[in-house]
Amino acid sequence: MVIGIILFTLIVVIIIFMSDAVIQKEGSLKPSTSPKDVFLHLLMIGSLYVSTFMFCSLWFDYVNLWFPDKLNFYYRAILEGVLVGTATLIVVFPVYLLASWLLEKEIVALPEKRELRVRKWLVYLTLFVSAIAIIVEVVRLVYNFLSGELTMNFFLKVFIVLAVAFAVFGYYLWDAKREVGSASKLPKYLAWGSGILVLGSIILSFFLVGSPAHQRAVRFDDQRVSDLQSVQSQVIFYWQQKEALPPALPNLADNISGFTVPVDPDTRAEYEYSVKGPLSFELCATFGAKSVDDYSTDRAYLSAPMMTEKGVKAETWDHEVGRTCFERTIDPDLYQTNKPLPVIIQEKEMSAIAQ
C-alpha cells in the first residue's frame, strides 16, 4: 500500500512537470493546466482506482461467502471485509461521480481542455493499469488450468476482475479517442449504470452482514464470549489451586493478580454462574445476536478442551439470541492441581525415569 502511494505520487509529480503551461497546435492557443485541473483529474482517477479495487474486493467477499473454499474460509474476516468495502464505496464512489461530472462540465464549457496533457497522461495510465490487470488475470487463469486448481470460486473472481478491467479499459479508450467538441450521452448512461450497480452491491451487503444495530449487537456478543472465556479460565485456575470450584463468581476476584469479575458490557448485569458437580459448572449470558462460525463452515469458535462423556473435545461458544448457558466439566488429566504427589508415587516416577 505504501509503495503504491509513493509510486502514484511520483507519477503525479512527473505528470505535473511534463504538462505544458501553454501548448501551441496549428497556431491556436490551448488553455493552460491550472491547479484546479490537476486537482480534479487526480481526484477523479484516484477515486476511480479506489472504487474499482474495493468493488472487486467486495464481490470477492461475496464469492467467498456463496462458494467458500474449505481450505481457506474465515467467516468473520470475510464479513469484516464486506463492511470495509461497503463503507469505502459509500464514500469514495460518489466522489468519483462528482469529480467526473465537474470535469465533463468544464470540458463542455471549454472543449479544448480535453487535450490537457495531465488528462491524457492519467487516462493512458488508467488504460495501462487496466491492460495489466487483464493480462495478469489471464495468466492466472492459464496457470490454474495447467495446475488443475480450477474451482467456481476462482472462476468467478477472475470473471469479476476481467469484467471490471474491460469496462474501465473500454470506456477510457473510447474517451481518449473522442474528438474535441464531440458530444455524447454515453458518460451519463455509464454513470447511471455504474451507480445502480454499486448501489445494489451496497444494499446486498446489508442483507449479508446485517444492519448497523445488528453489527453493534455482534460486537457486544464478542465481548460477552471473551468475558465468559476469561471467567472460565479463572474458574479452572481456582480449582487447580484449591481443588474445589468457587461457590460464586465474587470468589474469583484476586487483588494480587488484578482479576476482577467482568459484567455484561451493555446492561452491566452480572453473568450467571452455578456449580453442577465436583468438576462441573455452568456459565450463562444473554446475547443480542446469533453466533456465526468464526473459522470455517464446519468449525465453530473453540475454547479450551474439556471432558465429556465421549472423551476430550473442544467446547464451542455457539449461542442463539437471548439467554444461553454453557456447561463445562474440568478434566483432571488435562488440568493438574498444585497438590504435591505422595512420596510413594514420586519414588515410582523417579525410578521409572531412571530406567
Q: What does the alpha-carbon distance between residue 300 and residue 316 come to, in Å, rounded to a whole number?
A: 6
One domain, residues 182 and 112 = yes
Radius of gyration (Cα) for the chain, nearest Å? 31
One domain, residues 159 and 290 = no
Tell me if 103 is assigned to some domain.
yes
Other beta carbons less than 10 A from residue 271's beta carbon: 17
Total number of domains constituting the chain: 2
Which of 210, 230, 258 is the C-terminal boundary of a domain? 210
One domain, residues 52 and 185 = yes
pLDDT, residue 297, reads: 42
Tell me if 172 is assigned to some domain.
yes
Tell me if 83 is assigned to some domain.
yes
One domain, residues 231 and 206 = no
Q: How sure is the predictor about 103, in pLDDT bands with cuts at 50, 70 and 90?
A: confident
One domain, residues 106 and 174 = yes
One domain, residues 198 and 300 = no
Given a cut of 60, whether residue 309 has pLDDT beyond it is: no
The 10s digit of each residue's pLDDT in 35-89 is 777 788 788 888 888 888 888 888 888 888 888 766 566 667 777 788 888 888 8
Tell me if 342 is assigned to some domain.
no
Q: What does the alpha-carbon distance between residue 90 and residue 88 come to, in Å, rounded to a whole number?
A: 5
- Which residues span the domain enclosing 267? 220-329
Tell me if 338 is assigned to some domain.
no
Q: What does the alpha-carbon distance between residue 221 and residue 215 come to, in Å, rounded to a whole number?
A: 10
Which of 147, 182, 210 is the C-terminal boundary of a domain? 210
One domain, residues 171 and 198 = yes
Provide the 3-class DSSP secondary structure of residue 280: strand
Given a cut of 60, whether residue 110 has pLDDT beyond it is: yes
- Amino acid sitting at position 284: C
Tell me if 354 is assigned to some domain.
no
Range 251-261 average pLDDT: 83
- Whether 261 and 273 have beta carbons less than 8 Å apart is answered as no
Residue 74 sits at φ, ψ, to 5 deg, of -130, 95
One domain, residues 139 and 204 = yes
Given a cut of 60, whether residue 313 has pLDDT beyond it is: no
Among 113-122, 149-158, 176-185, 226-235, name the one with the lowest average pLDDT: 176-185
One domain, residues 206 and 234 = no
- Whether 314 and 331 have beta carbons less than 8 Å apart is answered as no
Q: Which residues contact 293 (CB under 8 A, 6 or more apart)?
A: 75, 299, 300, 301
pLDDT, residue 1, reads: 45
Tell me if 193 is assigned to some domain.
yes
Which of 210, 238, 265 is the C-terminal boundary of a domain? 210
One domain, residues 183 and 69 = yes
Range 236-254 average pLDDT: 87
DSSP-assigned beta bridge partners for residue 313: 306
One domain, residues 139 and 278 = no
The 10s digit of each residue's pLDDT in 14-44 is 555 555 444 444 444 556 667 777 788 788 8
Tell me if 154 is assigned to some domain.
yes
One domain, residues 88 and 67 = yes
